[in-house]
Every structure is written in C-alpha cells, then in structure tokens.
Structure 1
Amino acid sequence: MKRLISIFLCTICAMVQIYGQQYSASLEGNKQTGYFRLEIPQPIRSLIGNDIAKARIWDREGRETPFVKYITTIADHKFVPLNIVRKEIIPDSVTTLVVKNEKQQTWTGLWLRVANSNSRKQYTLTGSNDSLDWFSLSEDQVLENLTGHHQTFKEQEISFPLNNYKYLKISIQDKGTNPLNVMAIGRYDNVVSSTVYHTINGGKLDVGIKDKNSILRVQLPHPQVVDKVTLHISSPRLYKRNASVFVKKRVQVRRNKVEEQFVEIGQYELTPNNTTLELPSLFVKDFYIHIENMDSPPLQVDNFSLRQKPLTLVTHLSEGEQYAIVVDSSFKLPDYDLALFKLQANHELPILKVNKLTRVEPQLKDAQQDEQRVKLGNILLWGGLIIAVILVCYFAISFFRDMERK
C-alpha cells in the first residue's frame, strides 16, 4: 500500500513543471564573417560554472548558432633531433644506429622518423656510458605500421626502461630483407605555455582555531569556479603544515535520509615557497581550508586571492548580424556537428565582446501560461495529497475492522 501511494504522489509531483530563469547578453565585434572567440565573463560563470550546456548563441531571429569549447594547448610539442654518432648498415644482417644523450638526461622513449614502408622489423635496444660496453634495455621489440597517410614518413615511438645512459644503440634486424630508411631519431620536448588565470574579486575570509587546527572559511557573494587559492602568510618565517580543502555537500546517509556533510576534495602541504592550492575546478559559493598546526603556533594568514581558468567558446558568425548569448538552467547539452572538427587552438581568432548580462523577463502571455501551470500543479499536488490521506484512512479502517472480526 505504501509503495502504491508513493508511486501515485511521485507521478503527481512530476506533473509540476519547473522552469529555469533565463539571462541574455548581446555580442559585439563580428566585423567580418568567420570564426570568433567568446570568453565567458564571470557573471555568466556564476550561473553555469563550467557547464556550457546551459548556454546558447542566438541570432536576432532566435535561431541557434553552433559553438564549441575552445581547448587551449597546455604544451606545444617540438621535435628535437638527436645526434646520430654512428649509422651502419650491414646488408642482409643488421642496421645499427647509435645516438648520444648529450646532457645524460633521464629518458623512457625516443621517436624514429622512418620513410614509409610496409615492413615489419625486430629490434634490440642497449645502453652504454662509454660506447664500448653495452647493456640490455629492451629485447626482441617490433617496428610495424610504418606507413604515414599524410606524409612520406611515419613517426614511430619506441619505449624502454627509465635510464640516463650517455649512448643508446638501436639494432634493427634485416636478415632476408632490405633495411629501413631511418631519416632521424629524436624526442618531443614540451614547450609549456602559461595559462592566464582571472582573479575572482569579492571574496571574504574567516579564520578560526579549533583543536590545534586553523579553519579558514572562504566565502563568495555568488557561486564561482575556483581553480586556485593563494594564501598570504606573514608568520612564522619557517613552517611546513598539512592542509585539506573541504566543501559542504548533501550526502545520502540512509535510504530516506540526506544530510549536509563536509567532503574532502584535496590534501596539500603548505611551506613558505608553496602557499598556492590547486583546486579541481570547484564551483562553489564557499569552501573550507583546514590547516594542521600540531603544537606549533597557527599561521598568520593576512590575505588571500582566488583565481579561475578562463572558459572560452568558438563560434562562426556573419558580418554585421546581431547575436546574443543566452543562459537558461533548463537547457540541455546541444549536439552540434562543429564539435566533430578540431580547431587550431594556436590560431589567433578575433575576440567577441560580451555586453552586460540581464535577466529576460517572460512576456505577458508566457507569464500567464506559467501562472496557470503553477496553479494547475498546486491543485494536482494538493489533490493528490488529499486522495492519499483518504486512501490511508480507508485502508486503516478496513484493517481495524478485519482485526475486530477475528
């Protein structure tokens, strides 16, 4: 009976529709037809966080304009050729290639640029510090799939155990076959490009002490995505403290009970040279930092700063056309085929300006319809509750009558 009533009430509640609030901001800067970058400002981030599903770009006719998230490259990869100090080809036997690790860096792999071939070859890798005594690193490995589709060579990675030998020797078996044309041997170095973070203003810090722990509560006037928090600590001069970051979340503790609890999202170590905590893109209005003081005096936290990574979209606009970015919590993730194409993140694209965000008030007709829906929902909800109470009373009376008869 309880299950029947529960299903009935859930069905009634599901009939009450909840509508999201809608906001809009006009876009400017499309002085030509083409692709543009649109950096989402903090007022919009406060509404959507990192969830671009809640955003749309509309033209003045209300038609959707596809967009895709702009992924900036964390690091550019640059091929750095190595010095091949020995290259020897013994026909119908073996090809020997020796490269020099000039700075004796620690490596776990190399890249071979091999002219396109359908061959399949076995190779052995050895290491040496004097080019006389060689020691095994990797035996009976295979080079295959050596055909590039868009160029006349194929880059093939070879992996091996961590080492810092001054010389590495690759011995490719050619018994009964012709040798491969190894054009170059090198490594890909990461050229890190720095990410520009935006400062989040308006935050407030409350500091308390409890059970030898400093408890810092960071509060924001509106929810924001926080990627970094930096503490400005004036004393003591030397310290090394463990810190944890917590957020409050609603957690289901039993089948029908939900409680608000502190959930740990990261552990850190604070030192005078490291007072910045990298957070996993928290979308919060407040969070807590617990610092273990043990028997030492608490840290003197004078100030703090919050930063977030930019969220940028790429879209294709027509010259002179009017567009707006619209935010609505009821929107679902769009399925644009633009997302299937890889856009070059290193290309400089024109930047669109986002004007002031305003809330879109529903038109009179829409407001009347919404009011009617709310009234209908309330009638259905209260009607359902009354019917449920009547059913409970009916079954209870029937139960007691049956007990009296027995």
Structure 2
Amino acid sequence: MMKLLKIRKTNIALTAFFCGLMFTASAQKSFKYGAALQQVDSTGFYRISLKPGFVAKARNDMADIRIADTKGKFVPYIQAGSLPQKNQQSFVVFNRIDRHLPTDTGTTYVVENKTGLALDKLWIKLQNTAVQRKVNLVGSDDLQQWFAIQESIPLQEAVQNSEGTYMQLLSFPASSYRYLKILVDDKNKTPIKFLQAGIYTEYAKTLAYTPIPSLQFTHADSNKTTFINIKLNDNYQVNKLHLNISAPKYFKRNITVYQIIGSYKEAVAEAELNSTKNNDLLFSSKASQLLLQIANGDNQPLTITGIDAYQTDQYLVSYLDGKQSYRLLAGDSTAQAPEYDLKFFADSIKGNIPTISHGAVVKNNTVLLVQTKADKDYTVLIWLAIVIALGLLLLLTLKMTKEVGKKVGDKNS
C-alpha cells in the first residue's frame, strides 16, 4: 500500500511539473512582442533604455512590460524615474491652487508650475495611508480647459516610518502645462490627504529625447486654417514635435494638436507658434496619426519644411545576472501592472549605474523555455510532446495501480 502511495505521489509531481511548464509557456506566449536585451558582463543593477519601437508595442501605461530570463521567469524592475533623491534641500514646493470643479468626482489637488520647464516627474507628499488608490493627472494653462496627461497611476502604500508622512513619485510624459491637477479615484470613499507637491532641482533641466523614425506629413490650407496630417508607421509614444518653419520671418499663431485613433479625434495640446521661440510642441500622445490645426487669421500660411517627432527617454532599472541572457516582452492587453519588492529598495541603487539597450523588436512566436531557430516555429510540436507525455504518465499510473492492487489481493487471499 505504501508503494502505491509513493507511485501516486511521483506521478502527481511529474504531472504538476508538466502543467507548470504548460502554464509558463502560455504566459510567455501571451506577450505578442519581444526584444533581446544587450548581454551584461557582470552582475549588478543596470539602466535599460527603451527605444521608441519597443514602447510603441507596449500599452499606454506600459504595465505589460516584462523582463524574462532564459528560464522564462520574470525579473523585477522599477522605472528609472522611481529612484529616490538623496538631497532633501533641493526640493522645490509648488504653490497649491484652490480650485475644484463640479465635474470633479473625487479628491483633487492642483498645483502651479512656475518654473516654466517641461516636467516628466512630480513628487507628492502624503499623510501616511495603507489604502490603495489610483489617480489621473491632467494639465491646463488657464485653469479652464484641462487635458489628460496620464491615467490610472497607482498610489503606493506608505512604507513604515515614524514621520507620519511619505513621498511618492508620479512619472508621466513630458508636459509644460502651468497647472497640474491630481484627480483621485476615491468617489464614495474616505479621501487621502495631500501635503505638498513639487520637484527636485536635479530634474529641473532639459529633458532628453529620442527621435521617432519614418514620419510623413501632408498639409492643406482651407478657410484661414492650415491642417497638417502626420502619419507614423507604428503606435509611437510622441512627447515632442519640432516644426521647421522657414517663412514668414515674423509670426504668432495658435495651434491645436489632435491624436487620431480610428475615427476618434482627441485634442492633446494647445500651444502658440512664435518666430521668437524654438517651436517645440510638448504633449503626450500614443497614436500612429496626428493632426495639427493652425489658425492663420488673415495671414499667409506658414511655410513648414519639416517636422520631427520625439519620445522622452524611457528607462527601466533591474538587477541582472552576468551569466544570464534576458528578453524584454510587451503587447499583452490583459496584463496587470507588476508589483515587485524592488521598489522598496530603490535607495540602494546608485545613480551612476551602466546603461544597456535592446535589439530589434520581433513577434514573440517562440516559447522562451525552448531555444529554437528564429526562422522556425516548433510551438505545435512542443504542445504535442507535452500532451503525449501526460498521456503516457496517465497510462503508466493506471497500469502500476492495477499491478499493485493485484499483488495486494493475492496476499489477502
């Protein structure tokens, strides 16, 4: 009887192993795209640069990005913007604006950015809380019209401390709005308490951008308005457009930027083109098509000789093993944002860690656990082998159970 139990345990363990293999393979296959990470020469923290081509394949909130090792296991990471700042004296507090609209359904916190700089990070100071909330960040230049910047940003729970307060960083696409509003999704819930919001002076500098390739545009003039249609070859994250304007010598025009998604047109920014400025348009959009609308008034249309698109530099920080190879994964519409313990140890990461990049983005047609040639897909054979193995295990179990049962019956007789 003990032998029978031992056989059953062995077969259950083998069945669990194969089921785990099937689940891991299925999990990896749910990500539509992948890119090989640059091989690291030693174990430690690395800053991983995300190219526009990879970010284009990820969701808007980038919650579906994963780092996988050769065994198919996910490796913890944090966004580079989540690294804490050591020098508390460099914190610049933004003035709070008391403004609550009737349409605001939850807690709101409005601050004014008087620096005039484009920001991609905002530090907020909160009273300690252990609840989970999500916030939306919107921007405005006149406190009347508000434009979306980032949605569904999770607020972290307070780390244990004796101060009664904690800091959290909100990272978002670069925006130059004068006013920023934090909208908390806490309708019919007890509100959380905001104490301050601001930036560290280390971030009060020019942002770094990466060019987006293969931009094409056409323009048409109609009824004192110029319409410029911009097409990209993928669903890129666009944070800056630079317009090369050759004529006239002096101009001052209002411009509206729309993103086109299917048949839906959404305004993402309103700005001014001025011959005394650099004519950079800063906003946040993730689309393959943009529309610019320039109000000319009674003036001649602007002569635009070129348009350049850029994405703000995006980084992940992860602890990588020098003996391992890694891949980036993205493109899973059902993936939830990962919750890694690494975020609680961000203060252990030094600021001068090495930077690595990734290779070309390809469709994730192969299971990571099996190293196959790039031009062949053995997925069907792998599944077939797993099914056959499970069938053989089942037959073996039944056969051995009958034999042991027969022997037990002979002894009893």
TM-score, normalising length: structure 1: 0.52
Matched ranges for 1:134-213 at <5 A: 190=201, 192-213=204-225
Equivalent-residue separation in structure 2 for 1:189 and 1:342 (angstroms): 17
Equivalent-residue separation in structure 2 for 1:68 and 1:287 (angstroms): 31
1:27 maps to which residue? 37
Equivalent-residue separation in structure 1 for 2:348 and 2:267 (angstroms): 37
Residue 322 (structure 1) shift: 1.8
2:357 maps to which residue? 353
Aligned residues: 238
2:310 maps to which of 307, 312, 323: 307
Equivalent-residue separation in structure 1 for 2:83 and 2:67 (angstroms): 24
Q: Deviations over 1:12-57 (max 9, x none)?
A: xxxxxxx855222222342222111111122211201553321211
Equivalent-residue separation in structure 2 for 1:47 and 1:40 (angstroms): 11
Equivalent-residue separation in structure 1 for 2:200 and 2:42 (angstroms): 37
CA contact (8 A) 2:59 2:331 kept: no
* 1:281/1:229 CA distance change after superposition, 3 Å: same
CA contact (8 A) 1:20 1:329 kept: yes
2:69 maps to which of 52, 56, 59: 59
What's the secondary structure of 2:297's corresponding residue?
Answer: coil
* 1:60/1:286 CA distance change after superposition, 3 Å: same
Any gaps of 5 or more consecutive residues in structure 1? 1-18, 81-147, 151-187, 251-259, 369-406
2:229 maps to which residue? 217
1:364 maps to which of 380, 385, 391: 380
Residue 200 (structure 1) shift: 1.2
CA contact (8 A) 2:261 2:287 kept: no
2:260 maps to which residue? 248
2:48 maps to which of 31, 38, 41: 38
What's the secondary structure of 2:337's corresponding residue?
Answer: coil
- AA aligned opposite 2:67: I
More divergent stretch after superposition (230-239 vs 335-344): 335-344
Equivalent-residue separation in structure 1 for 2:206 and 2:383 (angstroms): 48
* 1:52/1:367 CA distance change after superposition, 3 Å: farther
Equivalent-residue separation in structure 2 for 1:277 and 1:228 (angstroms): 7
2:57 maps to which residue? 47
1:294 maps to which residue? 297
What's the secondary structure of 1:301's corresponding residue?
Answer: strand
- AA aligned opposite 2:53: P
CA contact (8 A) 1:246 1:262 kept: yes
Q: Does 1:317 align with 2:316?
A: no
What's the secondary structure of 1:273's corresponding residue?
Answer: coil
* 1:36/1:50 CA distance change after superposition, 3 Å: farther
- AA aligned opposite 1:291: I
Q: Does 1:68 align with 2:78?
A: yes
Q: Does 1:329 align with 2:332?
A: yes
1:389 maps to which residue? none
What's the secondary structure of 2:289's corresponding residue?
Answer: strand
Q: Deviations over 1:169-219 (max 9, x none)?
A: xxxxxxxxxxxxxxxxxxx99353332211112101111011110011111
- AA aligned opposite 2:292: I
Residue 292 (structure 1) shift: 0.5
CA contact (8 A) 1:23 1:328 kept: yes
Equivalent-residue separation in structure 2 for 1:214 and 1:24 (angstroms): 40
1:137 maps to which residue? none
Equivalent-residue separation in structure 2 for 1:20 and 1:228 (angstroms): 32
What's the secondary structure of 1:47's corresponding residue?
Answer: coil
* 1:225/1:344 CA distance change after superposition, 3 Å: farther
Equivalent-residue separation in structure 2 for 1:75 and 1:340 (angstroms): 14
1:94 maps to which residue? none
- AA aligned opposite 1:213: T
2:272 maps to which residue? 269
Residue 356 (structure 1) shift: 2.5
Root-mean-square deviation over aligned CA pairs: 3.2
What's the secondary structure of 2:71's corresponding residue?
Answer: coil
What's the secondary structure of 1:289's corresponding residue?
Answer: strand
CA contact (8 A) 2:68 2:74 kept: yes
